[in-house]
Structure 1
Amino acid sequence: MEHVLRVLEYDKMKAQLIGFVASSLGKQRVQALKPLIDLEDVQLEQNETAEISDIIRLKGHVPLGGISDIKAHVKRAAIGGVLSASELTEIASTLYGSKQLKYFFEEIIDEGNIDIPLLQERIQVLEPLSPLEREIKSCIDDYGTVLDQASQALRTIRHQMRSYESTIKSKLESLTRGSTTRKMLSDAIVTIRSDRYVVPVKQEYRGSFGGIVHDQSSSGATLFIEPASIVTLNNQLTEAKAKERREIERILTELSSKVAEEEAQLLVNVETLADMDFIAAKGYYAKSIKGVKPILNNQGVIDLKQARHPLLPSEDVVPSDIAMGNQVRSLVITGPNTGGKTVTLKTIGLLTVMAQSGLHVPANEKTELAVFEHVFADIGDEQSIEQSLSTFSSHMKNIVSILEKMNANSLVLFDELGAGTDPTEGAALAIAILDFVYKKGALAAATTHYSELKGYAFNRDGAINASVEFDVETLRPTYRLLVGVPGRSNAFAISRRLGLAEDIIADAKLQIDSDSTQVENMISSLEDSRKSTEQEWSQAQQVRLEADKLRTELEAKLDEFERMKEKIMEEAEAKAAKAVADAKEEAEVIISELRDLQKAGYQVKEHQLIDARKQLDQAVPKLNKKQKQVKKTAEKAKRIPKAGDEVKVISFNQKGTVVKKVTDKEYQVQLGIMKMTVAIDDIQVLEQAKSLEPQKAITTIRGNDAHVKAELDLRGVRYDDAMNRIEKYIDDALLAGYHQVSIIHGKGTGALRKGVKQFVASHPRIKSSRDGGMNEGGLGNTVVELK
C-alpha cells in the first residue's frame, strides 16, 4: 500500500490537507491518515465530513483556536511532576478552546438548522473543566508569568521586593549624580551583575570607591562594583527572591496536582479535540477543492462526474467523466504523450483512496466510488540502478507482485502496460495481463501506446476504450477524456503540419497494412461522429433553454393577465354592488312612503311590495360566485389525472380521455381516433357533468376501461361478433352523449367494411356516415355522426 500511495501522490494530497489543521493534534491525525477498507467505516467518515462541511458552509468556521497537545504535560503531572507556568498556561488555553467548541456545537444543536448526529455524539464527551481553567488563569497570565494574586504570601513577598529595589535604585542613582563619585564612573547608569545591583567604576578608582567587585568589562577598564552602602539591601532583596521562588514552586505544585486529578477527562478532551481538528480540516479542504460526498458501494462501481485531480491548479485542470464497473471491468486509455493519460489514471486512483480516507472528492454531485480491499498501481519509471533492472524488468516485477496479491475486490492501474520491450510481444503481454485481471474479477484501468490494444475493447466483453483528445491544428493535447473512442495515431497529421514532404508521407502510408488503415479510419469516423453529436446536442440544449425561457415569460404574462382580469372583475363587482345598494336604499324609501300611503287609505297591495323587494334582492350581482367557481374549476384542473378522466389538452384546445399513465410527468390521451403522449402540465382535468335528474336511476354501459371511448376497433373480429359489438357500442356512445364516433374495421377483404356500412345506413339514431380522412385511417375507418 505504501508504494501505491506514493505513486498516486497521496502524501502530497495530505500536505494540502495539513494546511487546514489548527494544531499539532490535527497534524498528527492527518499524518496518520490511511485509506479504510470497510464500507461502513468509510461511510461513517464520509458522513462526519459532510456534517462539518454543512457547518462550515452555514457558519463559516469552526472555533479551534488556542488548543495544543497537552498529553505529555498531563501525564507528567499524573506521576507527580511539577509543571512550569507556561505548560499550565497551555492547559488552561486548551480548556478554554474546549469550552468555546462545546458552546459552538450546543448552539448549532439548539438552533436545529443542521442535523449533526455524529458530531453531536463526539462533542458530548468534551468536558471544559472550567473550574480548573479559572484557577490556572487566576494564578498565571497568558504569557506564563505567575501573578501576585496567586497567593497572599506571594503578594507580600513581591511588595517587599519592589520596596528593596526602589531603595537600592534610589541610593545608586544618588551616587551616579554626586559630583564626587560621578567622575569615578565610566557611565552614569545602574545595572545588574550576578543578580545584584551594581554601578560601572573606572579601574583607577577601585581603591577609592570601595565595595564588592562582581564583574569587569572585557578590556578590564571598567569594574562592576556593588557599593558597600547597598550590600545589606541587596542581601535582603536576594533573600526575598528566594522566598518568591519557593512560593511560586508551591503554587505550581498545587496547580499540577489539580491537573493530575483531572487526568482522565483531560486526555479524553485532547483526543476529542484532535478528532475535531482533523474533521474540521477535512471540511475546509473539501470546500477548497469544491469536493462532494461520493456515493459509496462495494460492488466495484466507479462513476466519476467531471472529476478533477486535486493537485492540479483549478484553472488548468480539465474535468473528466469516467465510468467503470458493472458490465465494464476494463478501461483502456490511448493517446499521445503528455496528453493526460497518466493524470487520468492517477485521478481514478487518488480519488478512490481519498474517498476511502473519508475525504470528499473534487467532482460533481452523484459521483460514485467503490470501496476496494486493495488498490494496486504500476505508474511511472521505477528503474532500479542498484538491481540493474531495465525499465521493462522493473515494471514487470511490480506487475507480477500485483497479479499475485489482487482479488475480485481490487482496483488495478497500469501505466503504459507492456512498454519497454518489443512492441509485438509487449502488446501481446498487455492483452494477456488485462484478460487475467478480468478473469479474476478485479477492476482495471490501463494506458497504452500499442495499436493492438485499440481493438481490445471491441473484441472483449466487459472492456471499453477511451482516449485523450489531441488537436492537430495546434499540435497540443486538449486533455479531454473521450470514453468509447480509442485514440488514433496523429503522426502523419503532425508531420504534415510541421512541413514534411507530402510524397514522404504518402510513401509512409504505403508501409502500413490495410488492417491498421481500416482501424485508423474507423477511429477517425468515430471522432467525427462524436464532434457532430456534441455540436447538435449543444444546439438542442440552446433551443431547449430558449423554449424554457419563452414558456416562463408566457406563463408570467398569463398570470399577470389573470390577475388583471380578477382585479377588473372585483372593481366591476364593487361598482355594481354600490349601484344596487344605492338603488335598494332609494327603493326602501319609496316602499316606506307607499306603506305610509297604504295606511292613509290608498290601495297598495302587500304582495306587490314583497315581490318588488324580492326582485330588488335578485338584482344584486353574482360576480363573486362566478369568481369562486373559476377558482374551484382551476383547483379541479390541478387534480392528478387518472385513466378514464375526461381532460382538455391545452396546447391543442381539444377534449379527450386519459388512457393510461406513461410516467410521473406524462399520460397517454385519446383525442378522437388519435392516441398521443401529453405532458401533465398540458392537461386540464375537466369536472364530470352532474346528472340533471338525480332521482332517475340511469344505467350506463361502460367499456373495458370503465369509460366509453370515441372509437370502436373491430380489426381481427369475426363478422357476426362485429355486428353485435357495433349495435352495443352505438347504444353506449349515445348514452355517453357523443356526437361523433369512429368504427375501425380495416380494409381486408371488404366484407366487414360492407357490413358496417349497411348497419350504419339502417340505424335510426345515426345521422350520417363517411370514410375516414387521410389522418383518420382512410377506407379502413368509418366516421359516424349520431343524432
Structure 2
Amino acid sequence: MIYPHDFEEKIGFREIKLLLKENCLSSLGSELVDSIAMSKDERMINEQLSQIVEFRRIEAGMDSFPLQYLFDVREGVSRLRVEGTYMEAEEVFNLRRSLDTINQCVTFLNRREDADDGPFSYPTLQRLTEGIRSFSGIVKRCDQIVDRFGKIHDNASPELLTIRRNLSKAESSVARTLYKILHAAQSEGVVEKDVSPTLRDGRLVIPVASALKRKIGGIVYDESATGKTVYVEPTEVVEANNRIRELENEERREIMRILIEFSSDIRPHVDEILSAYHFLAAIDFIRAKAHLASAMDAYEPTVGQTPEIDWIEARHPLLERSLKRQNKKIVPLEITLKKEQHILIISGPNAGGKSVCLKTVGLLQYMLQCGLSIPVSYRSKTGVFDEIMIDIGDEQNIENDLSTYSSHLLNMKNMLKRGNSRTLLLIDEFGGGTEPRIGAAIAESILKQFCLKKVFAVITTHYQNLKQYADIQDGVTNGAMLYDRHEMRPLFQLEIGKPGSSFAVEIARKIGIPEEVIKDASDIVGSEYIQSDKYLQDIVRDKRYWENKRKNIHLREKELEGIISQYEKAMTELKENRKDVLRKAKEQAEELLTESNRKIENTIREIREKQAEKENTQRLRQELETFKQEVASFEKDDGDKSIERKMRQIVERQERRSKRKENKKKEQAAMSQKAPKENAEKRELAVGDYVRIKGNQTVGIIESMDRNMAVIVFGNMRTKMEVGRLELAKENKQQQLSTAPQTIRKTLEDINKRKLNFKQDIDVRGMRGEEAVTAVTYFIDDAIIIGMPRVRILHGTGNGILRQLIRDYLATVPNVSGFRDEHVQFGGAGITVVDIKV
C-alpha cells in the first residue's frame, strides 16, 4: 500500500511506465504496464525479477526469441461467444500469425539444456507456459481460409472457387465487349484516343465528353466535377455488369458462410485462446522490462522478506537519463537502512541533492516491489516493505482550506497512525512550513514517535535539533550531502554518520549579499551557532580528506601486496627451474657437439675425396676443439648472465652452420642442373615436341604454333595455351619416338584417372593469396586437360581481396572464355563460375 494517491507522480514512476510502454511491441504488453502494482510478497517479486534475468540471457544468446507477430485480436475472439457471430478475414489472418507466435514461444521456452529429461533452459519463463495448449490445428485451419497476404483463398470452399471463376470470366467478357465499343467510338471520333475504361460504382464505364454522350447508347452513371465528362455504361454490357454484381454478392455471402463456419469451429476454444493471449501479453511485458533494465544498466537483486535497504552505487534512473543527454555523469549514492539503523536524517545545503536522494529511495524501492530491475550494484541487498508513505512538495489545498503546513501535519497524522516496523517513510523538509522553533519542536516530537514505532524513514531537514537528536538516539543516524566549500559547489555525495551544514553564510556571500548584512545576521544568531556550524563544516571536510587518504593507502597496499606476491612467485619458480634450465642447456650443448662431430667428419671425408689442402682439415678440427672446450666450460658457469651468453652463442653457431649447409646444398644442386638447364634454355619449343604443362606430369605433343600460342594434343584431346606455360619432357627425341605408343597410352590413362577424380568445385577459403592462386592454377590446368567446360571456385566474400587475385589470374588464361559471380541463391559473390573453351 502507498500513500498519498499521487505517489507515483511525486517519485517519477509515471515516467518509468511511459518508458516501459515504449518498449512494448503491442497493446497486450501496454495493458499490463497500466495494471502494474506494488507487491509485498517477496516470492512473487523474486519470480518477476528471475523472469527478467532469463529474458536478458535469451537476448544475449545466439538464438533469437520468436516474437515476430503480436496482434491483439482478443476483442474478435471474445465476440465469438455469441452464436452466429464471426471474425473478419483480417482478424483471422492476425489470429493465425499470433497463434503461430504463441506456439513458437511455448516450444522455445520448453527446451531443455541436455537430454529430454534434463532441466529447462529457462525454468522461470517456462512456468508461464503451463496450461497453454498448442493451436497448430487452428493455425492449419486458418491457412485453409486465408493466404499469406490475408485474403480469402479461392479454394477455401468449392463454391467460392466456382463463383470466382465465373466472376473472372464475366469480367473478361465485359472488358472485351467494352474495349470493342471503345475502339469503335474512338474510330468515329466520339471518344478521344487516350481514353480507357474506368470503374464507377463497381461498374465498367467509358468516359465521354458531355456533348457527345448521345452518340453512345447506354446509362450515364456519373459525371466529373467540372461536368465536362460523363461516364456511360453501354447498353451491350449492362446485363453483363448486372451479372458481375450478382456474382460479387454471391462471393460475399460465401465468404461470410466460410467465416461463420470457421468461427463455429473455434468457439469451444475461446477461453483457451484468450488464456494464450494473456501469456503473450506477459512475454511482451517481460521483454519490455528486460529492455528497460538494459537501457538503465540495472540489476535484479535477490529480495529478502525482512525490510532492508543496503544499496551500493544507487542511481536515480530518470536523472541519469537526463544527465546522459547533457554528456554528464550521475553521482551514485550509498544508502543503508537496517533494523539497528532504521531512520536516516539527511542535512546539507539547498540544491545539494537531499530531495534527489529521497526520491531515489522512493522510486527504486517502489520499482523493486513492482517487479522491475533497479540501477544498483550487484553487491546491494534489498528487502520488502508493506507500505511506502511520502510527504514531499507543496500540498496546500484551497478547496479544503489547507495550508502547506496543515497538509504536512495531516500527512504526519496518517504516518503516525499507520506506520509500523514494515513501513518506509519518505519526508522532505521535516517540520518546515511554519515558525522555525515550534516547527522544529513538533518535528522532534514526531521523530521520537517514529523511533518508538520502529518505522524505516529517510528524512531531510535543516533543523539543528534533529541533527543533534540523531547523534544521541539509537536507530537514528545522520547523513550529510557533501559540499565543496572552497569551490562553492555541491558534490551530490551522501555521507552517512555525520550531519551536514547548510552553508547559508557561504552561499549568501557567493551570491553577493552585502558583507554587513551577513555580519548582522551572524550577530543575530550568535557567534556560538556560527562557530559550531563552521566546526561542523571542518569536521566534514577533514573526514572526507582522511577518508580519501585511507582509500588511497588501502589501494597502494593492495598494489604493493600484489607486486610482492608476483616477485615471490617469480623467485620460487626461478629457483625451481634453475636446475632444469642448466640440464636442458647441457643436453642441447651435447646434441650440438654430436652434430658438430658428424658434420666435421663428413666435411673431412669430402675434403679427402676432392683432395683438398691439409690446412682446411686442420682449421676444421681446431674449430671442433674450441667448441668442445666451450661446452666443457659451460658446466662450470653458474651465473644467469653466463647461461644466457652461452645459450646465445650455441644458437648463433647452430644457425651459422645450418646456413652454410643450405648454401652448400644449393651450390651442388646448381652445379648438377646447370648443364642440362642451359641446353634446355637454348632450345626453343617446336611443332612435334613432347611437352607438358609446368607442374603436371601428363605429356602431350605440339600440333601447331602461332607466335606465343600452341595447340597441344593430350591423347585424343586438343587444347590451346601459352608457350610459356609449357616445358619439354625430360626424354630425348629418340626416346620419345621409340616410346610414343607407351607415352600416349600413359597420357590417356592419366587423363582418364584425372576425369574420375576431378571435382568441378575447389574451395580456397582460408588460404593466403599466393597459395590460393597456385591451387587455382593447377585446378584450371586439370580442367583444361580433361575438357571440363565449367568449374566453380569457392573463395568467400570477405574484403574481396582473394576474389580479385583469382579473377586477375583467370583473365590471363587463354582457355578461359569467361567468369562471373554465382547466382545469389547458390553463393553469389562468394563463388566464381569459370567457363572454359573445350
TM above 0.5: yes
For 2:100, the aligned partner's letter is Y
- 1: distance between equivalents of 2:577 and 2:141? 70
CA-to-aligned-CA distance 1:742-780 (integer Å, 9 cap, x gap): xxxxxxxxxxxxxxxxxxxxxxxxxxxxxxxxxxxxxxx
Residue 41 of structure 2 is aligned to residue 30 of structure 1 = no
TM-score (norm 2): 0.65
Contact 1:177/1:188, CA 8 A, preserved across alignment: no
Q: Which residue of 2 aligns with 1:55?
A: 58
- 2: distance between equivalents of 1:100 and 1:115? 15
Q: Which residue of 1 aligns with 2:496?
A: 483
Change (3 A) 1:204 1:506: closer
Residue 141 of structure 2 is aligned to residue 131 of structure 1 = no
Q: Which residue of 2 aligns with 1:17?
A: 20
Q: Which residue of 1 aligns with 2:524?
A: 511
Among 365, 368, 392, the residue aligned to 1:379: 392
Change (3 A) 1:53 1:519: farther
Q: Which residue of 1 aligns with 2:325?
A: none
- 2: distance between equivalents of 1:417 and 1:531? 26
Residue 350 of structure 2 is aligned to residue 340 of structure 1 = no
CA-to-aligned-CA distance 1:439-490 (integer Å, 9 cap, x gap): 1121111111223222221121211111212233443322111212211131
- 1: distance between equivalents of 2:487 and 2:189? 88
Measured after TM superposition, the shift of residue 566 of structure 1 is: 3.7
Q: Which residue of 1 aligns with 2:233?
A: 226
Residue 375 of structure 2 is aligned to residue 362 of structure 1 = yes
Measured after TM superposition, the shift of residue 32 of structure 1 is: 0.2
Q: Which residue of 1 aligns with 2:441?
A: 428
For 2:315, the aligned partner's letter is R
Percentage of pairs with the same residue:
31
Bigger drift between 509-518 and 557-566 goes to 557-566
SS at match of 1:469: strand
Which aligned pairs between 1:765-784 and structure 2 lie closer than 5 A?
Answer: none
Q: Which residue of 2 aligns with 1:173?
A: 179
Change (3 A) 1:160 1:127: same
- 2: distance between equivalents of 1:61 and 1:560? 48
Contact 1:438/1:444, CA 8 A, preserved across alignment: no
Measured after TM superposition, the shift of residue 365 of structure 1 is: 1.0
SS at match of 2:151: coil
- 2: distance between equivalents of 1:183 and 1:399? 94
Q: Which residue of 2 aligns with 1:183?
A: 189
Measured after TM superposition, the shift of residue 203 of structure 1 is: 2.5
Measured after TM superposition, the shift of residue 560 of structure 1 is: 6.8
Contact 1:434/1:444, CA 8 A, preserved across alignment: no
Measured after TM superposition, the shift of residue 223 of structure 1 is: 2.3
Contact 1:175/1:181, CA 8 A, preserved across alignment: no
Q: Which residue of 2 aligns with 1:313?
A: 320
CA-to-aligned-CA distance 1:670-700 (integer Å, 9 cap, x gap): xxxxxxxxxxxxxxxxxxxxxxxxxxxxxxx
SS at match of 1:200: strand
Q: Which residue of 2 aligns with 1:156?
A: 162
Matched length: 584
Change (3 A) 1:139 1:509: same
Q: Which residue of 2 aligns with 1:717?
A: none
Q: Which residue of 1 aligns with 2:199?
A: 192
Measured after TM superposition, the shift of residue 137 of structure 1 is: 2.5
Which aligned pairs between 1:210-249 and structure 2 lie closer than 5 A?
Answer: 210-249=217-256
Contact 2:182/2:191, CA 8 A, preserved across alignment: yes
Q: Which residue of 2 aligns with 1:777?
A: none
- 2: distance between equivalents of 1:434 and 1:403? 10
SS at match of 2:170: helix
Q: Which residue of 2 aligns with 1:457?
A: 470
Change (3 A) 1:366 1:218: same
Among 269, 283, 307, the residue aligned to 2:290: 283
For 1:185, the aligned partner's letter is V
CA-to-aligned-CA distance 1:286-311 (integer Å, 9 cap, x gap): 22211112242333221111101111
Contact 1:54/1:114, CA 8 A, preserved across alignment: no
Measured after TM superposition, the shift of residue 34 of structure 1 is: 0.4
Contact 2:311/2:380, CA 8 A, preserved across alignment: yes
Contact 2:29/2:285, CA 8 A, preserved across alignment: yes
Change (3 A) 1:573 1:219: closer
Measured after TM superposition, the shift of residue 397 of structure 1 is: 1.9
Among 440, 454, 458, the residue aligned to 2:453: 440
- 2: distance between equivalents of 1:555 and 1:165? 96
- 1: distance between equivalents of 2:66 and 2:207? 54
Change (3 A) 1:212 1:542: same
- 2: distance between equivalents of 1:43 and 1:158? 58
SS at match of 2:319: coil
Q: Which residue of 1 aligns with 2:9?
A: 6
- 2: distance between equivalents of 1:2 and 1:145? 49
Residue 89 of structure 2 is aligned to residue 89 of structure 1 = no
Measured after TM superposition, the shift of residue 536 of structure 1 is: 0.9
- 2: distance between equivalents of 1:382 and 1:197? 71
CA-to-aligned-CA distance 1:231-280 (integer Å, 9 cap, x gap): 22212222221221122122212222232233233122112112222222
For 1:413, the aligned partner's letter is L
For 1:94, the aligned partner's letter is S
Contact 2:347/2:502, CA 8 A, preserved across alignment: no
Contact 1:96/1:128, CA 8 A, preserved across alignment: no
CA-to-aligned-CA distance 1:533-561 (integer Å, 9 cap, x gap): 23213422441353255346536745874
Measured after TM superposition, the shift of residue 142 of structure 1 is: 4.3
Residue 338 of structure 2 is aligned to residue 331 of structure 1 = no
CA-to-aligned-CA distance 1:390-437 (integer Å, 9 cap, x gap): 211122222222222222211111111111110101111111111111
Unaligned 5+ segments in structure 1 are 581-787
Contact 1:78/1:257, CA 8 A, preserved across alignment: no
CA-to-aligned-CA distance 1:614-644 (integer Å, 9 cap, x gap): xxxxxxxxxxxxxxxxxxxxxxxxxxxxxxx
Residue 322 of structure 2 is aligned to residue 300 of structure 1 = no
TM-score (norm 1): 0.69
Contact 1:215/1:224, CA 8 A, preserved across alignment: yes
Which aligned pairs between 1:672-687 and structure 2 lie closer than 5 A?
Answer: none
Contact 1:295/1:367, CA 8 A, preserved across alignment: no
CA-to-aligned-CA distance 1:84-112 (integer Å, 9 cap, x gap): 00111111011111122123323464587
Measured after TM superposition, the shift of residue 69 of structure 1 is: 2.4
For 2:316, the aligned partner's letter is H
- 1: distance between equivalents of 2:398 and 2:425? 26
Bigger drift between 450-459 and 410-419 goes to 450-459
Contact 1:377/1:414, CA 8 A, preserved across alignment: yes
CA-to-aligned-CA distance 1:185-235 (integer Å, 9 cap, x gap): 377121112221111222223333111222223343332211011122212
CA-to-aligned-CA distance 1:482-538 (integer Å, 9 cap, x gap): 212211131222334445565654454333335424531441232122222232134
Q: Which residue of 2 aligns with 1:534?
A: 547
Residue 108 of structure 2 is aligned to residue 104 of structure 1 = yes
Bigger drift between 131-140 and 87-96 goes to 131-140
Contact 1:56/1:283, CA 8 A, preserved across alignment: no
Contact 2:93/2:146, CA 8 A, preserved across alignment: yes
- 2: distance between equivalents of 1:369 and 1:471? 32
Q: Which residue of 2 aligns with 1:418?
A: 431
Measured after TM superposition, the shift of residue 570 of structure 1 is: 5.2
Change (3 A) 1:262 1:219: same
Bigger drift between 136-145 and 51-60 goes to 51-60
Among 273, 278, 290, the residue aligned to 2:280: 273
Contact 1:55/1:114, CA 8 A, preserved across alignment: no
For 1:44, the aligned partner's letter is E
Among 185, 203, 211, the residue aligned to 2:210: 203
RMSD value over aligned CA atoms? 3.1
SS at match of 1:283: helix
Measured after TM superposition, the shift of residue 164 of structure 1 is: 2.0
Change (3 A) 1:294 1:130: same
Change (3 A) 1:6 1:489: closer
- 2: distance between equivalents of 1:553 and 1:149? 79
